[in-house]
Amino acid sequence: MKKQSKPGSWPSPLTATMLAQSGNENLWPQVIGDDVWWDEMRPSEGGRTVIVSRLHGDLIPAPWNASTQVHEYGGLSWLGVLRDGKTVLYFVNKSDQKIYVSEIGSEPQEFSPKTPDDEIHRYAEMISVGDEIWCVRETHIKGVVTRALVAVSENRVRVLNADSQFYSYPRISHDGSQISWVCWEHPQMPWDGTQVKVANIVDGSFQDIRVVAGGLDESCLGPEWGKDGILYYISDISGWWNLWSVDQHGVKKHIVADQSEWGYPLWLVGFRFIQVLDDGKILTSRGPVDSRKITIVDPENGKCVDVDSPLTNFEPSISAGNGKAYAIGASATVTTELIEIDLNTLNSTTVFASNSPIEVSYLPTPHEIKALRPDGREVYAILHPANHPDYEPSEKTPLMVVVHGGPTAHSPATLSMKYSYFTTRGISVVDVNYGGSTGYGRQYRNLLRGQWGIVDREDVIAVVDSLIATGTVDGKKILIRGGSAGGFTVLNVLVNSDRFAAGASYFGVADCTALAVDTHDFESRYLDSMIGKYPEDAELYKDRSPLTHADRLSSPLIIFQGLDDKVVPPAQSEAFRDVCVSKGIKHEYHAFEGEGHGFQKASSIITSYESEMKFYGEVLGFAPDLG
């Protein structure tokens, strides 16, 4: 028999310290010779990103940190190369953004040339071409940001192309005669419209540059060359990010017409959505938000063969070589797992998995739910029910609403230890994939165009009302939390609704005007599509800003902010803190030195989760067990 106890106060074995210790983030598996490498961000080491080899372990010692800051969000920061019988590692070091090179076991040496004192140079997405490294370079000179495809050799940089404002995916054809890349211009974001360009390579320079796919209303991503000179890529021209090809004559082919997404929003440069295998087939992943699969596609007939795996979500970064394929995935019972797939049998085995720090009986079973708005449109969300093997609620459980960031992003139906921190204590969590989220096709993604601050708010409330109507959650104990764009929706909901008992904003957007004029270059025109042009639509920006309506705030609010945040500067959070002070609203403000847009240090993670849980306990009248 389970004991009945007040939700929120259930004793949980999952502590904030465990969250920080088990919070390693893994990405970018790559086959290097007979080895496979990946990177691992470790909160326990101050957020340091380490490149890990299956055969050799850590490839860079502390304090080296393989992390590029291109677009502020970063992406693929390293490259393994077999050269003259040796395995060589190139990586971008976080502190100075220079490229370093080392052999396994040796001390890294500077590779990129010295940067002038009044300039910032950043590098990402490296490929090896002869004795040069070709990559994306981002330069900051007196407040002006530009990007280019460049060739880097020791103490020298050659500019290969600088015609566009944004670049990704430099790829060399198998015979070395051509290069392809993806580019886009302000005010487009890469999920709005991109171009795939191809050029001939003549004596190390580009000639006959031409656009082979994409446009202002077509998002093309991830081009990869086949051995026959065909270029494969992901396009959403059909309404879904699907697999396409274009041949040497410009003839395009929609290889698989599928109403599911084969691509992701390009927040990080370097995502690899497809890889052409030795037999000409395509390795990729596809499927709905709650059931993605690794798939092998025959481009001749479009036939797809799914790899049998219990994992239901995969990171958009896959790799293959030596008859094996590698992908990092998750499921409702697994937070992170790197699998190896035998390409002959399609059987998969585990290379490593992040084990749960607590018994599985404590964990919830996340699953997708749907809610209907008053206008009849469906809204999607992922529910993580409160769960404990020894306790059941003595009353209806509180509900925590989570609003994902982006806002062009989505939350999968996979196990989250961060959410389990709340569910094991008796608080149900619902993660809303509001209109504008990815994973549901371009039409759903475009619902936020011109409507940011309206559609997201209405969709959140529709999900809340739906769950209250089921009778399982307490309508007087609804909490809401979110970060960045999710924090914007949190603040927006709190000043426009009385349904919420308290909120938590993690580096949330409070002032749309300030964001438009004070954010980083990558997102500086993002709001053109989501709100309107600035300054022409200045009044609309003002009206959509939560800060404009802050006089209506009445709910308790806890705010978290990184003081080094270049995406949403601290002034945004400080403004709402000051409103809480002036109105006498219960609040807390936590600022973290050395943290940017997203917390990476164990100390910051521990402080934020424990403070948030205590705050909710004070508001809702329960004493949380913090372990």
Residue keyed to tokens 């295998």: 277
8 Å CB contact between 371 and 378 = yes
Q: Which of 332-336, 353-357, 554-558 has the highest mean pLDDT?
A: 554-558
Helices 455-470 and 485-496, axial angle in degrees (round to 10) = 70
How many other C-beta atoms are found inside a 10 Å radius of the C-beta of residue 491? 31
Q: How far apart are CA 601 and CA 44, in angstroms?
A: 7
How many other C-beta atoms are found inside a 10 Å radius of the C-beta of residue 204? 12
- What is the pTM for the complete model shown? 0.95
Would you put residue 507 in left (φ > 0), alpha (ψ -120 to 50) or beta? left
Q: How far apart are CA 219 and CA 93, in angstroms?
A: 31
- The length of the chain is 627
The answer to whether residue 309 scores a pLDDT higher than 80 is yes
Q: What angle do CA 364, 26, 460 make, to 5 degrees?
A: 45
| Burial profile 110-121: b = 16 or more Cβ within 10 angstroms, e = fewer | ebbeebeeeeeb
Q: How far apart are CA 582 and CA 580, in angstroms?
A: 6
Q: How far apart are CA 537 and CA 507, in angstroms?
A: 25
Q: How far apart are CA 382 and CA 429, in angstroms?
A: 8
How many other C-beta atoms are found inside a 10 Å radius of the C-beta of residue 30? 21
Tokens representing 243?
């697999």
Q: How far apart are CA 521 and CA 122, in angstroms?
A: 14
Amino acid residing at 161: N
**Once rounded to an integer, what is the mean pLDDT over residues 573-589?**
96
Nearest to 565 by CA among 41, 44, 73, 27: 73
**Once rounded to an integer, what is the mean pLDDT over residues 36-55?**
95
- Output helix, strand, coil percentages for the chain, rounded to the nearest 5: 20, 40, 40
Q: Which residues pair with 159 in a beta bridge?
A: 150
Under the banding of pLDDT at 50, 70 and 90, the label for residue 59 is very high
The answer to whether residue 9 scores a pLDDT higher than 90 is yes
pLDDT at 589: 98
What SS3 state is found at 11? coil
pLDDT at 21: 84
| β-bridge pairing 587-592 and 557-562 | parallel
Amino acid residing at 217: D
Tokens representing 30?
């790559």
Q: How far apart are CA 100 and CA 311, in angstroms?
A: 35
Amino acid residing at 413: A
**Once rounded to an integer, what is the mean pLDDT over residues 349-353?**
95
pLDDT at 265: 97
**Once rounded to an integer, what is the mean pLDDT over residues 55-74?**
97
Under the banding of pLDDT at 50, 70 and 90, the label for residue 141 is very high
Q: Could you report the per-residue pLDDT of 182-203, keeping only the tens digit for each?
A: 999 999 999 999 999 999 999 9
**Once rounded to an integer, what is the mean pLDDT over residues 581-602?**
95
pLDDT at 105: 87
**Rg of the chain over all Cα atoms, to the nearest angstrom:** 24
Nearest to 319 by CA among 626, 79, 602: 79
Contacts of 433 (CB under 8 A, 6+ apart): 289, 379, 380, 381, 382, 404, 410, 411, 439, 440
pLDDT at 457: 97
Average pLDDT, the chain: 96
Cis peptide before 364 (omega within 30 of 0): no
Q: How far apart are CA 277 and CA 82, in angstroms?
A: 19
What SS3 state is found at 321? strand
pLDDT at 84: 86
pLDDT at 370: 97
Q: Could you report the per-residue pLDDT of 207-246, keeping only the tens digit for each?
A: 999 999 999 999 999 999 998 999 999 999 999 999 999 9
pLDDT at 155: 81
Under the banding of pLDDT at 50, 70 and 90, the label for residue 85 is confident
Nearest to 332 by CA among 391, 410, 416, 260: 416
Q: Could you report the per-residue pLDDT of 235-292, keeping only the tens digit for each?
A: 999 999 999 999 999 999 999 999 999 999 999 999 999 999 999 999 999 999 999 9
The answer to whether residue 627 scores a pLDDT higher than 90 is no
**Once rounded to an integer, what is the mean pLDDT over residues 91-110?**
96
Backbone φ and ψ for 29, nearest 5 degrees, come out as -65, 135
pLDDT at 1: 85
Tokens representing 76?
């693929």
- Residue percentage of the chain with pLDDT more than 90: 95
Contacts of 216 (CB under 8 A, 6+ apart): 188, 192, 193
Longest dimension (CA), the chain: 77
Q: How far apart are CA 514 and CA 140, in angstroms?
A: 21
Q: Could you report the per-residue pLDDT of 526-578, keeping only the tens digit for each?
A: 999 999 999 999 999 999 999 999 999 999 999 999 999 988 999 999 999 99
Contacts of 39 (CB under 8 A, 6+ apart): 26, 27, 28, 49, 50, 51, 52, 66, 77, 78
How many other C-beta atoms are found inside a 10 Å radius of the C-beta of residue 38? 22
Which fold would CATH assign to domain 166-306? Neuraminidase (2.120.10)
pLDDT at 518: 86
For the chain, what is the total number of helices (H) and then of strands (E)?
10, 38
CATH architecture of 3-16+358-620: 3-Layer(aba) Sandwich (3.40)
Q: Could you report the per-residue pLDDT of 479-504, keeping only the tens digit for each?
A: 999 999 999 999 999 999 999 999 99
Q: Could you report the per-residue pLDDT of 434-474, keeping only the tens digit for each?
A: 999 999 999 999 999 999 999 999 999 999 999 999 998 99
Burial class of 454 by CB neighbour count within 10 A (0 to 12, 13 to 18, 19+): middle
Amino acid residing at 348: S
